[in-house]
Amino acid sequence: MGIFTISWGMEKNTQFVGQSLAFLDAVEQAGRAAELNRPVLVIGERGTGKELIAERLHHLSPRWDEPLIVMNCAALPETLIEAELFGHEQGAFTGAARARAGRFEEADRGTLFLDELGTLSMAAQERLLRVIEYGEVTRIGASKPLTVDVRIVAATNENLPAAADAGRFRPDLLDRLSFEVITLPPLRAREGDVAVLANHFGRRMAAEIGWPQWPGFSAACMAELEAHDWPGNVRELRNVVERAVYRWNEPGRPVAAIVFDPFASPWKPQPLMPVQVVAEGRAMGSPAPVANGHDAITDLKSAVDAHEAAIVRAALERFRYNQRATAKGLGLTYDQLRHCMKKHGLSAG
């Protein structure tokens, strides 16, 4: 079976690379759906290429020469989502110094890609449903709606039918958006594609750093790559491969060293150890005098105070005695933390 690659666009190097049937089926499904003026849901784990599928749906559609507007619904606080989607008039809310068009107006006659759709609030979902049903959008603070012609492509890594059953997603909106559902396979299910993608990314990185040619990976190194589970999918694979190539100092020999976890280090910060309940007068962090500590407590107030002091002391050490960071980490105000430190006689470092 041959390797499938496709690229488009003058300003962005957008490519699919792969040969597995699961991958090719999803790409073909997107190609067929692109021709229709219907909404499409793209489902997949992080790093599987949901945005690439959205771009394919747009560029192969009759709307290819109109705007493709991308909005990550998880990147904005809930209070701003509706203003971003639908726009607002001047003075509609605090900080609205001038009128602004929303993403629907910007995408008029084109495609609106809503990434992380499952994070939309119920209020935003209701307004989105009205736009889909009536083709009209009303800016926040406006009295008259505007007519828009927008094709919606939405993506998520959530199980939306389960979210609808749980009351976190509107079933009627799900019905409207799911004319076609394209579920992208994770990399671990794409047979043979790890090697294809690894060599693709490795060759590009070698050219970027000026190697005369691409020597490939050693057999042992490729076996490691193919055995990995890839929870971050293609995005994770690209990072691992590019990092391995740039760290390799022998461009004439196949790359033979792979680091999957860039945070792995003997000097990395250690997780905070659980704090033990200690009796009053004992050193903080010393073992309890008996195995079943709760049964041995005879002075509840002293035990609670000791436990509270140990937690605050450990948090101060964790945040290197930055009191504002410590207060935030413990869910306290700065004044509450200061009172607690004074109560237990804890120093400021």
Residue 176 belongs to a domain with what CATH number?
3.40.50.300
For residue 107, give its domain range.
4-185
User: According to the model, what pLDDT value does residue 223 have?
Assistant: 96
Say yes or no: 138 and 153 in one domain.
Answer: yes
Run of H or E residues at 40 = strand 40-43
Look up the CATH number of the domain holding residue 330: 1.10.10.60
Say if 258 falls within a structural domain. no
- Spatial distance between the Cα atoms of 38 and 179, rounded to a whole number of angstroms: 7
Q: Same structural domain for residues 139 and 192?
A: no
Is 267 among the domain residues? Answer: no
Of 136, 158, 185, the one marking the end of a domain is 185
335 shares its domain with 205 = no
**What's the residue count for the chain?**
349
Tens-level pLDDT at each residue, the chain (349 residues):
445 555 444 344 457 899 999 999 999 999 999 999 999 999 999 999 999 999 999 999 999 999 999 999 988 887 788 888 998 888 878 777 888 898 999 999 999 999 999 999 898 899 899 999 999 998 888 889 999 999 999 999 999 999 999 999 999 999 999 999 999 999 999 999 999 999 999 999 999 999 999 999 999 999 999 999 999 999 999 999 999 999 999 999 999 999 999 998 888 887 765 544 444 444 444 444 444 556 667 778 888 888 888 898 888 888 778 888 888 888 888 878 888 888 888 877 6
Same domain, 243 and 285: no
What is the pairing mode between strands 146-147 and 136-137? antiparallel
Q: Are residues 34 and 153 in the same domain?
A: yes
CB 256 within 8 A of CB 202: no
* Domain edge (last residue) among 185, 210, 227: 185
Residues 60 and 143 both lie in one domain? yes
Same domain, 161 and 196: no
Where is the domain boundary, 247, 264, 295? 247
Residue 143 tokens read as 């009295």
In 3D space, the residue among 107, 176, 178 whose CA is nearest the CA of residue 148 turns out to be 107
The alpha carbon of residue 145 and the mean position of all alpha carbons in its chain are separated, in whole angstroms, by 33
Residue 154 lies inside a defined structural domain of this protein: yes
Please report whether residue 254 resides in a domain.
Answer: no
Q: Is 265 inside any structural domain?
A: no
Same domain (yes/no): 237, 216: yes
**134 and 165: one domain?**
yes
The CATH number for 214's domain is: 1.10.8.60
Q: Is residue 79 one of the residues assigned to a domain?
A: yes
Do 179 and 201 reside in the same domain of the chain?
A: no
- Report yes or no on 74 lying in a domain: yes
pLDDT at 23: 94
Pairing of strands 151-156, 111-115: parallel
Whether the Cβ atoms of residue 222 and residue 195 lie closer than 8 Å to each other: yes
Name the domain count of the chain.
3
Residue 128 located in a structural domain: yes
> Are residues 87 and 152 located together in one domain of the fold?
yes
Q: In this structure, are 10 and 140 located in the same domain?
A: yes
> Which two structure tokens, joined as six digits, stand for 185?
């396979």
